[in-house]
Amino acid sequence: GIQVEQSPPDLILQEGANSTLRCNFSDSVNNLQWFHQNPWGQLINLFYIPSGTKQNGRLSATTVATERYSLLYISSSQTTDSGVYFCAVLNQAGTALIFGKGTTLSVSS
Amino acid sequence: AAGVIQSPRHLIKEKRETATLKCYPIPRHDTVYWYQQGPGQDPQFLISFYEKMQSDKGSIPDRFSAQQFSDYHSELNMSSLELGDSALYFCASSLRLAGVDLEQYFGPGTRLTVT
């Protein structure tokens, strides 16, 4: 099955810093999503981005499907950005999401 | 906008008991998924339904069963609970187009604790 690898596993930032999170996947995919899991456990949709670039406020994402990777950019980080960021891709059957292990982000003031 | 609704939000059960988790998808979504997230782990796919029929099956124990009803809500039934079943259980929903599931939206989860 498809393998999803995220890096770095952990990231510690000061408030105001920028960061880039990476997601590599082992096969072509029809769907890629980025999520933020907050400290209360909620999974919040950030981007649905099978290819191309999208921006939403301080966050943006780029997926290069032909090279099998996606990047999530966080600019001017805030303490509320803390949590785990997951990348997930649709399996080959197109019926379930396969998650990476996540990047744990800690932003301190 | 309406989101995915899950109930209950928290559940405490003893070993060998049964539990039923409920999920109400976003209106007009035709596909429902269940995921299990253990402590410090990533969510793992359990099972999915499309138009009330089982669509795909992941790492779901035989002690668990699920179904999707005529109103599209889904229930996950868990029997003979074990300590290792303690986890956060997510339901998600989406639309399926040309055989491919579009963006999945997740509910708030049910936190199950087995003692």
Task: Please check whether residue A88 is in contact with residue A35, taking contact to mean a CB–CB distance below 8 angstroms.
Answer: yes
Q: Chain B closest CA to A4's CA: distance in Å?
A: 11
**Which residues on neighbouring strands pair with residue B75, listed in sequence order?**
B22, B67
φ, ψ for residue A43 (rounded to 5)? -95, 115
Question: Chain A interface, mutation test: which of B26, B101, B113, most A Cβ atoms within 10 Å?
Answer: B101
DSSP reduced 3-state for A45: strand
Q: What is the pLDDT of residues A34-45, one digit of tens each?
A: 999 998 999 999
Which pLDDT tens digit goes with each residue over A8-21?
Answer: 999 999 999 999 99
Q: If you ran DSSP here, which 8-state letter would residue A40 be given?
A: T
Which residue, among A28, A95, A98, would best test binding to B if mutated, counting the most B CBs under 10 Å from its CB? Answer: A95
Give tens-digit pLDDT for B15-44. Answer: 999 999 999 999 999 999 999 999 999 999
Q: Report which of residues A68 and B102 the model is more confident about.
A: A68
Which of chain A's residues have a Cβ under 8 Å away from the Cβ of B88? 41
Any chain B CB within 8 A of the CB of A41? yes
Between CA B10 and CA B2 the distance in angstroms is 21
Helix residue ranges per DSSP H, B2-105: none
Interface of B with A in 8-47 (CB under 8 A): 33, 35, 42-45
B109 near A CB under 8 A:
yes
